[in-house]
Amino acid sequence: MKEILLEKGRYYHIYNKALFGENLFRENDNYRHFLRLYEKYIEPIADTYAWVLMKNHFHLLVKINNVDFPKPVYQYFSNLFNAYTKAYNNRYNRNGPLFVRPFKRHEVNSLNYLKNLIYYIHYNPVHHGFTTELFDYPWSSYLSLVSFKETKLKRGEIMGWFNNKNEFVEYHQNATNIHQIEEIAGGEFRGDVWKI
């Protein structure tokens, strides 16, 4: 696999989809297993700020830890995808790759981009018609961020970007133009990666 540059101390939007329009997640156990593997492979090397798991794709906002790793950072993500594919193939009696390779990544280099990307990630289930309200979708970081429960997400830092929790919620309730977010991101959200 061609090396994907992920630099220490930088924020990235990482996303991918299933091959051939297949589903990555068929049932709730699939989502839970992906998150368990994410905790195993990614939490040691990156801080997570936002995420969403959709039926056939996912989005992550992470900051790569500023430490030395025994192997290239992209390898930890590859290990996650390979472990999930192996379990998925075993469960559904299928063979071969599941994810598009290589996975997509874009560096996030401004506060405006960070805020809009967090909104975009949380808005994805509404955008694709899985729900009409952000708080009704269980497979995203939105509920963890607005709750008072303990979380491994960088809640304090995120709320600081929005000034406070009330402004974070208000930002998510305003109808942001998705095309405006695409412009900020330089068009990275365009294309068939988002189609269900």
Is 157 a residue whose pLDDT tops 50? Answer: yes
Domain that holds residue 108: 11-189
- Average pLDDT estimate for 18-33: 95
Q: What is the CATH number of the domain that holds 55?
A: 3.30.70.1290
Exposure of 43 by Cβ count < 10 A (0-12 exposed, 13-18 middle, 19+ buried)?
Answer: middle
Mean pLDDT across 17-44: 96
Report yes or no on 2 lying in a domain.
no
Task: Identify whether 194 is part of a domain.
Answer: no
What is the model's pLDDT at position 180? Answer: 60
Mean pLDDT value across residues 26-51: 97
Quote the pTM value: 0.87
For the chain, how many structural domains are there in total?
1
Please report whether residue 195 resides in a domain.
no
71-91 burial, b at 16+ Cβ within 10 Å, e below that, comes to eebbbbbbebbbbbbebbeee
pLDDT at 189: 47
Determine the distance from the C-alpha atom of residue 86 to the mean position of all C-alpha atoms in its chain, rounded to a whole number.
Answer: 20
> Does any domain span residue 6?
no
**pLDDT given at position 24:** 96
Concatenate the DSSP letters of all residues of 50-70 into one string: EEEE-SSEEEEEEEE-SS--S
**pLDDT score of 191:** 41
Residue 196 lies in a domain: no
Query: Is residue 72 in some structural domain?
Result: yes
**Type of residue found at 12:** Y
Q: What is the pLDDT of residue 176?
A: 62
* pLDDT tens digits along 104-126: 999 998 998 999 999 999 999 99
Average pLDDT over residues 27-34: 98
pLDDT score of 185? 52
Give the H or E element holding residue 11: strand 11-17
What percent of the chain is modeled with pLDDT above 90?
A: 71
Q: What is the DSSP letter of 140?
A: B
